[in-house]
Chains A and B, each alone.
Chain A
Amino acid sequence: MTSQEDNELVARAVSGQDTAAFGELVRRHQSHVRNFLRKLSGDYSLADDLAQDCFLHAWDKLQTYSGRGSFIGWLLKVAYTTFLQSKRKSKRYAEILESAGQVADQESRSKVVENEEITDLDKFLAVLTEEERAIMVMSYACGLSHREIGDATDLPVGTVKSVIFRGKDKIRNRFDIKDHKHG
């Protein structure tokens, strides 16, 4: 999976409205995008719906991809924006926010995953704020560089570094991360 191949597929999709080339891009990156959204939302079916929306937005905006950064970095930016937009639209989320703030966010995450096996990663993610969660997942699950995360979240590289530092600190203080169950 090289970025050169990605760029060629993007060029084919943009120049000829080639949906087969775009389909190949989706096939290559769906796992990363769905994993990112699953970890961010904690809800598998919502994450898959958001991933579909993300790829539809990506198709609409494909000509704005300049080819400078990695395609997956650009795609995760679209995914993160899609997630934030959907959250803003969600009335239910607004009600939760109004009633109990951040605590409710963490509680709703635990409710969502109650039918699944709760891994250490779920516990770690629950103690992080949304921004920290997104940045930590981009960094440690998707392997994006600090610069790529900065591009995806519209934050300066210095802020990205300090958010990661803060996230690591929270996890370190709450858990013994040496003895963990893989997420």
Chain B
Amino acid sequence: MVERMKDAEDRLLESMFDSPPIADDGFSVQVVRKVNKQLWFRRLTLPVAAIIGGVIAFKPLAGLVSLLASLFTLIPQDAVSMATSSIPQFQTIVLGAVLLIAGLIGLRMIEH
């Protein structure tokens, strides 16, 4: 608040506009309570929405999964065995995961 040039009239107006400070009387506590309530509401909104969405989506999702399973039985056995052989071995997957985790840890250390 920069002090500007004041004349007598300015000082008079200041004294007229001057009013006694208003006591807090729990005002700030009330505001903080509302802020906390708002914070909790925001924190809970996403998980609650996810749970409700999951419950709503469960039945159609289960139907979709059973439909896909029934379609899977229609695929010829030769095609299925060919696709299975192209999936990497368990050991390769574990090795890949270990390398990925090590890489992420390394990156984090570099960042720090």
A interface with B by C-beta (< 8 Å): 17, 19-20, 22-23, 26-27, 30-31, 34-35, 39, 48, 51-52, 55-56, 59, 70, 72-73, 120-121, 124, 136-137, 140-141, 143-148, 168, 171-172, 177-178, 180, 182-183
Residues of A within 8 A of B1 (CB): 70, 72-73, 143-145, 148
Q: Which residues in B have some Cβ–Cβ distance to A below 8 Å?
A: 1-4, 9-10, 12-19, 21-24, 27-32, 34-36, 38-39
Given A23-B29, A27-B24, A31-B21: A140 and B2 interface contact (C-beta under 8 Å): no
Grouping DSSP codes into helix (H, G, I), strand (E, B) and loop, the A interface class, with mixed when no group exceeds half, is helix
Cβ-defined contact, B22 with A121, below 8 A? no
Q: What A residues does B24 contact at CB under 8 A?
A: 27, 30-31
Give the distance in Å from the alpha carbon of A112 to the alpha carbon of B17 in the complex. Answer: 19
**A182 vs B14: C-alpha distance when bound (angstroms):** 10
Most chain A beta-carbon neighbours within 10 Å: one of B12, B16, B30, B38: B16
- For A145, the chain B residues whose CB sits under 8 A away are 1-4
Chain B minimum-CB-distance residue to A136? B17
Given contacts A20-B32, A22-B35, 20 further A-B pairs with CB under 8 A are: A19-B39, A23-B32, A26-B27, A27-B28, A30-B24, A31-B24, A35-B22, A39-B19, A52-B31, A52-B34, A56-B38, A59-B35, A73-B1, A121-B16, A141-B17, A144-B1, A148-B1, A172-B9, A178-B12, A180-B16
Task: Please name the residue on chain B nearest to A3 by beta carbon.
Answer: B1
* Shortest CB distance A52–B (Å): 6
**For A124, what are the chain B residues with a Cβ–Cβ distance below 8 Å?**
16
Bound complex: CA A147 to CA B28 (Å): 28
Of all chain A residues, which has the CB nearest B8? A178
Report the minimal beta-carbon distance from B82 to chain A, rounded to whole angstroms.
Answer: 54
B28 engages A26 (CB within 8 Å): yes
A30 to chain B, nearest CB (A): 5
Q: Enumerate the 3 nearest inter-chain pairs by beta-carbon distance, A residue then B residue, closest first.
A: A140-B17, A141-B17, A145-B2
Q: How far is the CB of A21 from chain B (nearest CB, A)?
A: 10
A112 vs B95: C-alpha distance in the bound complex, in angstroms?
Answer: 77
